[in-house]
Amino acid sequence: MSRILRYTVLLLGCLVIAFPVYLTIVTAMKTPQESAHNFFALPSSFYLDNFVTVITKAHYFRYFLNSLVVTVVSVSVEMIALPLFAFVLARNMNRPYYRILYVLTILGIFVPFQVVMLPTVKLLHRIGMLSTLGLILLYLTYTLKKGVFLFVGYIKSIPLELEESAFVDGSTIFQSYRSIIYPLMRPMIATMVIIDGLWIWNDFLLPLLILNRNTASWTLPLFQFRFKNQYSFDFTLAFASFLLSMLPILILYVFMQKHIISGMTRGAIKG
């Protein structure tokens, strides 16, 4: 009985996940008339003009490139600086200064974004940072608190004896971090790349607040919002753009999933 219940719950979960994907695919391949007639039905043919329209007439690649730059730069800088910062905190937690710095950093987890939204935008406006660079800096700021919390806990689980043996062999702190600690953090790094990459790629609120004055610097979510006007919403073009924007992040997930598994295996062997 418990087995039947378990598989029933799993089946329902799969349906909940698969149904929006089904709607996205079938709607993207319908004509506007078909979509208006029956939104849930399969398309009568593989109508690809929606994809052609999105790519050729709506400057899709300009906004795709904007999203790609913001996501890649934000995640790359985060994965270089954040593990190093967390390593310093984790290995010096016995000192009061580092403990206070750690507590002050993770306290940001408990502050809702809505509380600091308007002051943040006002500050960026004053210093002239309502731009792509300002958006990237905001993403780095908001990923810091969660990332430090996760990375510090992960680094604490790595035995100190590994670094001590490296020191005996003449390695410096940075050399032991680069050759021992950082490779062992690959499962956590891959996980953070997927989580933060997915969030930054799909985020709508921060680009809306920071980039709303300059349409040339819009990211894909803002570009997709253009399909809505005061009286209607072009579902076929919007869902075609949704499907196109899903592909890069799905490829990233498939690629990084392999690194999670291999990184966990290497970490277990070295540990």
Q: What is the pLDDT of residues 151-181, one digit of tens each?
A: 998 888 888 888 888 787 777 888 888 888 8
Q: Domain coordinates of the chain in residue numbers?
A: 18-47, 54-270
- Can you say whether the dihedral through the CA atoms of 203, 204, 210, 212 is positive or negative? positive
Architecture in CATH of 54-270:
Orthogonal Bundle (1.10)
Burial class (CB in 10 A: 0-12, 13-18, 19+), 107: exposed
Q: Whose structure tokens read 């680069």?
A: 178
Q: What is the pLDDT of residues 233-262, one digit of tens each?
A: 677 888 888 888 888 878 877 777 666 555
pTM value is 0.82
Contact of 249 with 197, CB cutoff 8 Å: yes
Q: How far is CA 141 from CA 77, 105, 145, 252, in A?
A: 11, 10, 8, 23
